[in-house]
A and B are shown apart, each in its own frame.
Chain A
Amino acid sequence: MANVDILTSAEPGAKSSIRIRGTSSLNASSEPLIVVDGVPYPTTIADDFSFSTANDEDFGALVNISPNDIASIEVLKDAAATAVWGSRGANGVLLINTKKGRSGKTRFSFSSKYDVRNEASTIPMLNASQYVAMIQDAVWNTVNDLGFSNSQSYLSLLFDTPEIGFDPNWIYFKEYNQDVDYVDEITQRGFSSDNSFSMTGGGDRANYRLSLGYLNEEGTTIGSGFERLSALLSINYRFSHKLRITTDFSFSDAERSSYWHNPRGQALTKMPNMSPYYMNEDGTRSQEYFTPNSYFQGTLGSMRSTEIKGGVFNPVAMVHESINNTNSSNSRFVFNLNYNLLRGLDFFSVVGLDIRKTKNKRFLPQTVTGVTWIDPWFNRSADMLSDNVYLNTENRLLFRRGIENLHNFIATGIVQTSESVSANYKSEVSGNASASTSDPTAGGTIADMGSGSSKSRQLGFIGNLHYAFLDRYMINMGYRFEANSTMGANNRWAGFPTLGLAWHANEEWFLRDLEWWNTFKVRLSWGQSGNAPSGSYSYIGTFDSLNPGYIDYPAIEPNSIHLNNLKWETVSQGNLGVDLAFLKDRLRTSFDVYNKLTVDMLQKNIVLPESSGHSKINWYNSGEMRNSGWEYRIDYDVVRNSNWTVSANFNISQNENEVLTLPDNLTDYKYSFENGAYAYQIVEGNPLGSFYGYKYLGVYQNADETYARDAEGQLIQDISGDPVLVRNGGDPVYPGDAKYQDVNGDGVIDQFDIVYLGNSMPAATGGAGLTVRYKSLTVNAFLHGRAGQKAVNQTRIDTENMHGVQNQSAAVLRRWRHEGDDTDIPRALYNKGYNYLGSDRFVEDASFLRLKTLSLKYSVPSKFLDRFGVERLDAYTTIYDIFTWTNYTGQDPEVPLSRDDGVAYLIAKDKAYTPKPVRIAFGINLNF
């Protein structure tokens, strides 16, 4: 699909997101609306859902139905097409329709699929002796820089730390003199099976389709897995020629198992000389986990499900012993009614009810953290419960009238309502005896408790008129009047017009007789839509109690400011498209250009002057942004006959993003001078997602190079005429330190030397597919690529800095040690210096071309099957993510966009520690 950019992450547990036609908003959701069977499906994309392959299977998983139940997936992009979905469709609409019943004799189908995932080798890390040598090297360099008398603490670190020393008399000598590959310890071969069964049949008046599916998956990280049972029932009943009713009922029950905290980062940077288990006298591993609460690499910090603050844990114990099970069940009813009132006048009504229950249970045993009884992390457990109910209704009147094959009218009036209610509760308890007593009433110490509830409602009135003259000239006009409960009464309602024009030129006299030219269609559309602020009660000012109060008086203070001016963020989009088809529709091509303008952008958490007594305002409308671009797609059926089919398709698209007016609050840029930090700034006329930093020039080789020079290249001297050393921030540099370009020539590397380094937005994305069939054998290949995207390789920053106690990648074996070392990696320097400032050293071109899938399918010939009464039998194998052409050195060039702390826009920062696994699937489909 052109210009549907699916951003994925290979990290188990990482969040993915999809963008249709660029990021058009800073703070409103940029994710498209997913509509299943005509009812919006709230897009709470599961945390570790992988969009990587984005085929039926994955979309099925997204909406919790078996891929075999999906009849069609359609993407609506231009404003006129998405208008009917209103603000929720402002970022595009993904229409998914499930299969319905078919009349006739009862048919059964069965499909089964097995796949195996093998994790490619991760970043090579230092082994035990290399690690110890690197740490000692780093500490020595710091001692030398500071001078002997100033570095007592570092010297004692060097001499009195048995973890990195060699002291056979030490009680834990064995435990700290192993060579462990932690990543290997926590990974396994992933495996999954997916079976589904369906039956369909019915008579004249009624038909049905019933399906059952069972999916079982084991992740590549030990302890991760997923199990899902799903059922779908669709009944279609025709009462009369005027009245038809369809009901769809789907149910799924899924159980996801995981660990308390993602062990990957910890596994990668753990000191490799340390054993995860106590060692026996004879040098073999015991069964007991070796988890000191505090050791050379740190102490256990506070650990949340998503983050760990400055702490360490035993990653091997984490995957084996910690529990994190999420059980979610989802029941969904869709009731469809279609009544023909008069000739040409139809009434449609859709009611969708979606009920979700999620229960999460977690347990973090002491063996993982090593803490003592009084610690709030001792045998910590958590219990979470959430309930969501979504109710959507749509009532539609549709009037159709044709006059003498010349004029055709379609008029539609729609009323839509939508309500979502949610409630959640959680409790965290420490000091539990076991995982089964995680309930707070069982007697542990309550560490954290909370509950919440919210409700939001939306309402839309839509009028639409479609007129066609001679089936050649078409005009479509619409107006949508919409309201959302997240805004105050004065700004709640907004109107959004749409207009579409189309011309089927091939119906004209000058083309009608051309046999090789079948379609020539020109489409022009323009429309507006709005984004509402997220959350339930965004505009409402609140008071909150202050605890404790003052003396014996309870205290309440104004907490958030009431927003009278919060309003819709408006997106206007124009689209011009041309569709062409030639050679009896064998060659089809379409081209679209669009321009999308966002005004009154929703700004979240705007900093207020402190003189207001408040620190922020929740929402504020300000700023303008434009996304413009084009999309091209071509499909060619080269050969199509009974023996051969050869067809190919190709798509490419480009999106350009430009900030036209800066939001009021973003005049200042965000940067603080520290290692690994990049500067972010939104500049009028520039696209979002740019990063700024230093130009990296390599390593200072000798003392002479470390003298500061001004812009003319003259040595800078101090008052007494001695040359001064270049300083990275406050620290003077020595040979082996990182050399950055001193842009202003003042001898100090600081924020004034920052330059533009690149942008996270790809210049172009595209894909290509090829299908070749010979008789019963089909080969299918799909390629996906992106060009011109820059990414910050955070993983390299983390594994090549040699600044802390973390294990580093094998690349640091090339670090500078002596003058003359020809290398781009500075010397090791413990806890000091600025050898890894945010510079172009870690910014890489993430352009890539990937062979995403290659599949081979064999359909058993029907002559043979008929004998067994089988209608169809296919066997296939598919390999996913087989090969990637790229210069990117990170784990995966498909870098997801993520939000950095305090930065208003998304940037490509690669934090992946896990390569994309190569996945091989085998399966059969059987219909009888």
Chain B
Amino acid sequence: MIIQSLIRRIMRKALLFGMVFLLSFTSCNDWLELYPENAQVASQYWETKADVEAVLSAGYVRLRGSVDKLFVWGEVRGNGIALFNIGQDDNTRAAQRIRSMDILPSNPYAKWGEMYQVINIANSVIKYGPEVVEMDDSFTNEELNSFLSEAYFLRSLAYFYLVRTYRDVPYITQPYVNDDEKFEVEKTAGDLILNYLVDDLEKALVAAKEFFPEVDNEHPMNTKGRATKWTIHALLADIYLWQGNYEACMTACDHIVDSRRVGLISNWFLNFFPGNSNESIFEIQYSYDRGQTNGFADWFDVSPRYLASLPTVQVFSETQGFGDVRGVNGSFLMDGSTLGIWKYMGLDYYDVSTAKRSSIQNDQNFIVYRLADILLMKAEALVMTENFEAAIGILNQIRARAGIEGDLNPAATEFEMLQLVMKERHRELFAEGKRWFDLLRVAKRDDYRYLNYLIQEVTSVVPLSSLAIVSSKLMNTDSHYLPIHQDELNANQLLIQNPYYSNLGNQ
């Protein structure tokens, strides 16, 4: 009976407890609020400076992940490289289809996801960085603005690649953080996007750093691997030139030339090994020691995917006899009929004793901008503003550095001058992801005044049998831009396919 009364007492307490439990309804929501223990919860992120910097670096990581696209978009339709070992995998087949202008909306190289990953990350930094400054006392406005300048650079670079590759694309400046966002976004005209980029970049210049602190001053990875003031000027010069704003382009180039932070180096090959040279402005960094490796060995080395093209051999044959170090044994090898791209394989100019990069040296940087590129941009702008003399001066500067004896003289016409610049760009920047964009930039200028030049150049790497068909395809200027990928059209109903591809159907 003692037990019974005890139980009764317990029961009364239990009942009371039950009632309290019922009343404490509000505490239920706390009880139901659970967070994962092994993941970073988004709503609890964005609190310190380190949070902002880590996301910013993710932008660079994603940019590094897109190098395959950057290379293919910039080179495959140009005439600098030749495709080799075709059909080994989906990627080489897809690249071959792009070269033969047999492009379907299902081509994997028509996917733009990597670029938008960079953009989304940059957008996140731009949106949340200012909020973090309010919370983290150790995070100064100056530091924030420097981060923002990098974010604006990453976003602008991504959009510039997109505009050059697709022309009109969705222009998104807000990060996607939750499912309230509007995921389907219409295209914005490419010209308009470029104007926005210019605005952003001009503003970003103010707070951009001139250099970053280095651990190893011999190899300034940070200054050459992150966006500095000079990087932003370089991108601006590139965009201005694309837009046909030659004065602004030249001004931007001059900022870099006068910066005293970069200069042409006498040994041209040092640009590629070890890289991060004094000439460099922005390189996407790889580092074997840090586990940040690339697939360049598969592209250029054993059973290579890409070789030098015959037009490349030809363009070098014009200077080879005058001491150009960049040709055979510099940019490429002449090993029987195989024209391996030595730039990315060698430790120095090739001779019998030079070793190739070993597997632990397969961390070649992907150079986005270096001074030679900027100088040639300026030369092009000078040509377009009819200052042939000054343009030739720059060409001679570049040629002299390459070991070529004897100066060029100005040509008579704009077109001849442009050809001289383009040939020099071909030689100097071979296989650096530039060729197609260079050809397209020159061709589309002044309502496609030089379309025939583009067709001539591009078809120089097309087999005779398909020459007619590729030429006729290129006559339609819409074909110069890639189609929007089929998956993207399915997922975003607001997109309108590039008219050149819209009748190719749902394949």
- The finding on whether chains A and B are genuine partners in a shared complex, rather than unrelated, reads yes
Q: How far is the CA of A543 from the CA of B51 in the complex (A)?
A: 10
Q: How far is the CA of A562 from the CA of B55 in the complex (A)?
A: 17
Asked if A613 and B34 sit within 8 Å, CB to CB, the answer is no
Which residue, A548, A550, A551, has most C-beta atoms of chain B within 10 A? Answer: A550
- State whether the Cβ of B360 lies closer than 8 Å to any Cβ in chain A: no
- State whether the Cβ of A901 lies closer than 8 Å to any Cβ in chain B: no
- State whether the Cβ of A426 lies closer than 8 Å to any Cβ in chain B: no
Q: How far is the CA of A454 from the CA of B178 in the complex (A)?
A: 22
Which of A540, A551, A609 meets B41, CB within 8 Å? A540
* B21-59 contacts to A (CB < 8 Å): 21-22, 28-29, 31-43, 45, 51, 53-58
Asked if A550 and B61 sit within 8 Å, CB to CB, the answer is yes
Asked if A485 and B34 sit within 8 Å, CB to CB, the answer is yes
Number of chain A residues whose Cβ lies closer than 8 Å to a Cβ of chain B: 64
Min CB distance B156 to A, Å, is 16
- State whether the Cβ of B242 lies closer than 8 Å to any Cβ in chain A: no
Asked if A553 and B57 sit within 8 Å, CB to CB, the answer is yes
Q: How far is the CA of A557 from the CA of B215 in the complex (A)?
A: 25
Q: How far is the CA of A543 from the CA of B121 in the complex (A)?
A: 11
- State whether the Cβ of A880 lies closer than 8 Å to any Cβ in chain B: no
Residue of B nearest to A618 (CB): B179
Which of A492, A558, A607 meets B120, CB within 8 Å? A558
- State whether the Cβ of A483 lies closer than 8 Å to any Cβ in chain B: yes
- State whether the Cβ of B92 lies closer than 8 Å to any Cβ in chain A: no
Asked if B4 and A240 sit within 8 Å, CB to CB, the answer is yes
- State whether the Cβ of B108 lies closer than 8 Å to any Cβ in chain A: no
With contact pairs A453-B38, A541-B42, A562-B42 given, residues A610 and B488 touching in the complex (Cβ less than 8 Å): yes
Choose, from B169-177, B229-237, B253-261, the stretch at the interface.
B169-177
Number of chain B residues whose Cβ lies closer than 8 Å to a Cβ of chain A: 77
- State whether the Cβ of B490 lies closer than 8 Å to any Cβ in chain A: yes
Asked if B18 and A395 sit within 8 Å, CB to CB, the answer is yes
Which of B11, B21, B61 meets A555, CB within 8 Å? B61
Q: How far is the CA of A484 from the CA of B31 in the complex (A)?
A: 10
Contacts of A349 in B (CB 8 A): 14
Asked if A562 and B181 sit within 8 Å, CB to CB, the answer is no
Asked if A668 and B36 sit within 8 Å, CB to CB, the answer is no
Which of B33, B45, B116 meets A611, CB within 8 Å? B116
Asked if A556 and B36 sit within 8 Å, CB to CB, the answer is no
- State whether the Cβ of B222 lies closer than 8 Å to any Cβ in chain A: yes
Min CB distance A728 to B, Å, is 17
With contact pairs A483-B32, A548-B291 given, residues A609 and B488 touching in the complex (Cβ less than 8 Å): yes
B465-505 contact mask (Cβ, 8 Å, vs A): 1 or 0: 00000000000000000000101101110010000000000
* A303-353 contacts to B (CB < 8 Å): 339, 341, 347, 349
Asked if B285 and A551 sit within 8 Å, CB to CB, the answer is yes
With contact pairs A550-B292, A556-B51 given, residues A540 and B38 touching in the complex (Cβ less than 8 Å): no
A548-566 contact mask (Cβ, 8 Å, vs B): 1 or 0: 1111111111111111111
- State whether the Cβ of A243 lies closer than 8 Å to any Cβ in chain B: yes
- State whether the Cβ of A295 lies closer than 8 Å to any Cβ in chain B: no
Choose, from A62-70, A100-108, A455-463, A512-520, the stretch at the interface.
A455-463
Contacts of B123 in A (CB 8 A): 613
- State whether the Cβ of B361 lies closer than 8 Å to any Cβ in chain A: no
Asked if B53 and A553 sit within 8 Å, CB to CB, the answer is yes
Contacts of A453 in B (CB 8 A): 37-38
Asked if A558 and B35 sit within 8 Å, CB to CB, the answer is no
Contacts of B36 in A (CB 8 A): 454, 536-537, 540, 542
Contacts of A667 in B (CB 8 A): 490
Q: How far is the CA of A614 from the CA of B120 in the complex (A)?
A: 8
Contacts of B31 in A (CB 8 A): 457, 459
Which of B14, B176, B178 meets A563, CB within 8 Å? B178
Asked if B32 and A485 sit within 8 Å, CB to CB, the answer is yes
With contact pairs A549-B57, A557-B121 given, residues A609 and B178 touching in the complex (Cβ less than 8 Å): no
Asked if B491 and A554 sit within 8 Å, CB to CB, the answer is no
Min CB distance A230 to B, Å, is 32
Min CB distance A829 to B, Å, is 20
- State whether the Cβ of B111 lies closer than 8 Å to any Cβ in chain A: yes
Which of A395, A550, A611, A614 meets B170, CB within 8 Å? A611
Which of B21, B42, B112 meets A542, CB within 8 Å? B42
A387-424 contact mask (Cβ, 8 Å, vs B): 1 or 0: 00000000100000000000000000001000000000
Asked if B184 and A609 sit within 8 Å, CB to CB, the answer is yes
Min CB distance B255 to A, Å, is 25
Asked if A551 and B287 sit within 8 Å, CB to CB, the answer is yes
- State whether the Cβ of B278 lies closer than 8 Å to any Cβ in chain A: no
Q: How far is the CA of A123 from the CA of B116 in the complex (A)?
A: 52
Asked if A544 and B221 sit within 8 Å, CB to CB, the answer is no
- State whether the Cβ of B109 lies closer than 8 Å to any Cβ in chain A: no
A530-550 contact mask (Cβ, 8 Å, vs B): 1 or 0: 000000110011111111111
- State whether the Cβ of A848 lies closer than 8 Å to any Cβ in chain B: no
A460-497 contact mask (Cβ, 8 Å, vs B): 1 or 0: 00000000000000000000000111000100100000
With contact pairs A347-B15, A550-B292 given, residues A537 and B176 touching in the complex (Cβ less than 8 Å): no
Contacts of A492 in B (CB 8 A): 29, 32
Residue of B nearest to A548 (CB): B291
28 CB < 8 A contacts A-B:
A239-B3, A239-B4, A240-B4, A243-B4, A395-B21, A415-B18, A415-B21, A415-B22, A457-B32, A457-B34, A536-B36, A540-B36, A540-B39, A540-B43, A545-B54, A550-B285, A551-B292, A552-B290, A555-B55, A555-B60, A557-B55, A558-B124, A558-B177, A566-B179, A610-B488, A613-B118, A613-B119, A613-B175
Residues on A close to B: CB < 8 A? 239-240, 243, 339, 341, 347, 349, 395, 415, 451-457, 459, 483-485, 489, 492, 536-537, 540-566, 607-615, 617, 620, 667-668
Task: Give 9 nearest A-B pairs by CB, closest first.
Answer: A613-B120, A541-B42, A610-B113, A557-B58, A609-B492, A553-B57, A555-B58, A550-B60, A543-B40
New contact pairs (6) apart from A561-B177, A620-B179, CB-CB < 8 Å: A485-B32, A550-B58, A610-B485, A611-B170, A615-B113, A617-B179
Residues on B close to A: CB < 8 A? 3-4, 7, 11, 14-15, 18, 21-22, 28-29, 31-43, 45, 51, 53-58, 60-62, 64, 111-113, 116-121, 123-124, 169-170, 172, 175-181, 183-185, 215, 221-222, 225-226, 285, 287, 290-292, 485, 487-488, 490-492, 495
